[in-house]
Amino acid sequence: MALLNIAEPGQSPLPHQTKRAIGIDLGTTNSLVAAMQAGRAAILLDEQGVAMLPSVVNYTDAQMPLVGSGALALAVRHPADTLMSVKRFMGRGNRDAAGDAQRSHYELAEDEEGLVRFNTSSGERSPIEASADILRVLHQRALATLGSDIDGAVITVPAYFDEPQRQATKDAATLAGLRVLRLMNEPTAAAVAYGLDAAEHGVIAVYDLGGGTFDISILRLHKGVFEVLATGGDTALGGDDFDAALADWALRDIGSPSLAPGQYRQLQAAARAAKELLSNEAAVDLDLSGVLPSGGTIRVTREVFENLVQPLIKRTLVACRRCMRDAELDASIDNIIMVGGSTRVPLVREAVADFFQRPPLQGIDPDQVVALGAAIQADILVGNRPEGDLLLLDVIPLSLGIETMGGLVEKIVPRNTTIPVSRAQEFTTYKDGQTALAVHIVQGEREMVNDCRSLAHFELRGIPSMVAGAARIKVIFQVDADGLLNVSACEETTGSQANITVKPSFGLTDDQITTMLQASFSHAGGDKIARQLAEQRLAGWQLLEGLKSALTADGETLLSAEDRAAITAPMTELQALLEGQDADAIRTLTEHLGRQSETFANLRMDKSIREALAGVSLDTLDDEVLQ
């Protein structure tokens, strides 16, 4: 008799059989891939023994795009064909990305959906396609190193990436032939690497300043549980901006000549090289070869460079202060983890140490720590180490909700809620006979829809025709472990339902990312007043709609002309008030009209009871009661 070989879900049926999983840090400037080898997470190297793959793709040759250092070498000669820092364009629209594209000398293509696409010699290319080409090279490197199929990958993203940016990352991975086990926040991945290696517990700040993005996360580590208390950051701030600041300074110093795209790329590369040298030197020469016909150099001191980047560093500290406030903590942090190559700038380390009043940890290469943490988590998720299962509790960065009548926002999932999460809330219809409901999903902290970001729309149809307020519609928000949102609506009496997976056409703009949270605080007083006005207007409109319907049906039969006038006069007055801004006056008149119409409401109720009892004898009622 044969036995059926079984195993726990996600685990191999053979104790000695190990699955292969990888962790990928898909970075703005450089990308890495790591895997567990001999019980430890290790970075996988290419054939030349190099760990970092430049996140650059060149499309000059339509048949064979170049990825990495080969593509980077063509950036000067073919700037429009060489896509760099594409991570900054993931999930964004043309209008949002126009500034970054102009500075990088990209030619944006027109897209019907509004998504960013680049004009190249090989045709139009999207950030998703470019990211897929980068991921494909990392996938091939893992196959060559590990010598077997890859069972899954954990890919890291900035903690502040929103739904379209995360979905774009997953689409790129799928296009590259990777099975995504999970998208993992970069700060959380760094905490996993340090938490396992150093067995740290307590509250940790993860300061992640990469090539194109900045993230700050506050995490609590305790007994294998990594809980993100709060996140913040800026998806358009990083080492690339340090390079641009130095390059623009150099342009001003040499008289602001007009540069061709290739020349500006050359200047950016020279600025990046000078920046890296200034981490260890007091002064360096910025090479102008390829920038000016005469070539030459410019002497740059560390002091000049620090003055240029000081405002950028201050922007990161503002985000740190906001994140600490969100986590309801003072400056008492147990440890600070530095992530990203830009944290090697001495002024960055000094500023962070001063802010948190303790030196940061430096035990792991800041360029590699994210990939290493992702590899550890991938090994767990693929089922190789169930005994070491870690619980990662990330949070959503901005509140999610829907629009209600009056342009109000009803928050269903508040910001900094731990994910994955499922939240439900009941709503009802606004008008009599309403058979459909438009659901508008929004993201943000403000009270009014116009001040928040629109994510998606969908409609629920098939609602039974009944009086306003009688229908029961349950709206469910589900955010998965990758931060992707699914919204469903169901009318409970009929079971009619509709749903949508939120995949908007573009991501947050740079200004939205940096100001949305600040705006929620600075406009708190005004938003409260605006919401009160909207709520009073809504109450007034609902009362007017109900009275108009009632007067049409029973006004002539149940009320005298004098009684009707006593109701219609304040109705006309309220109608005019609703166009104004006086919430107190609207509330006072609404309450007065409600009292004025109570007698009419009682008469209608008596009429309904009489009609319901017409033709029914008391004996019949007694029998029904006894039964």
Residues annotated as catalytic are 25, 87, 186, 208
Contact indicator for 569, 539 with CB cutoff of 8 Å = no
Identify the DSSP state of 286: E
Q: Kind of pairing, strands 202-209 and 335-339? A: parallel
Pairwise CA distance, residues 185 & 394, whole Å: 8
Please name the helix (run of DSSP H) or strand (run of DSSP E) that holds residue 120, with its range, or none. strand 118-120
- Both tokens assigned to 398: 């901005």
Contact indicator for 213, 160 with CB cutoff of 8 Å = yes
Written as one letter, the residue type at 141 is R
Pairwise CA distance, residues 334 & 356, whole Å: 9
Integer angstrom CA distances of residue 150 from 38, 93, 142, 172, 186: 17, 33, 8, 17, 21
Rg, C-alpha atoms of the chain: 30
Where do the H-state alpha helices sit in 58-179? Answer: 69-73, 94-103, 127-146, 163-175
Given strand 453-461, what is the order of strands in its sheet?
A: 408-413, 400-404, 436-443, 453-461
DSSP result, 45-82: P-TTS---EE-EEE-SSSSS-EETHHHHHTTTT-TTTE
Q: For residues 299, 85, 133 and 175, what is the CA-based torsion angle, rounded to 10 degrees?
A: 170
Q: On the CB side of 9, how many CA atoms lie within 13 Å of its CA?
A: 0
**Other Cβ atoms closer than 10 A to 101:** 18
Q: Kind of pairing, strands 214-222 and 225-234? A: antiparallel
Please name the helix (run of DSSP H) or strand (run of DSSP E) that holds residue 265, with its range, or none. helix 261-277
Contact indicator for 429, 471 with CB cutoff of 8 Å = yes
Pairwise CA distance, residues 122 & 139, whole Å: 23
Identify the DSSP state of 15: T
Integer angstrom CA distances of residue 152 from 23, 38, 142, 333, 627: 9, 19, 11, 34, 64
Helix (H, G, I), strand (E, B) or coil at 426: strand
Give residue 460's region: left, alpha or beta (phi > 0; psi -120 to 50).
Answer: beta
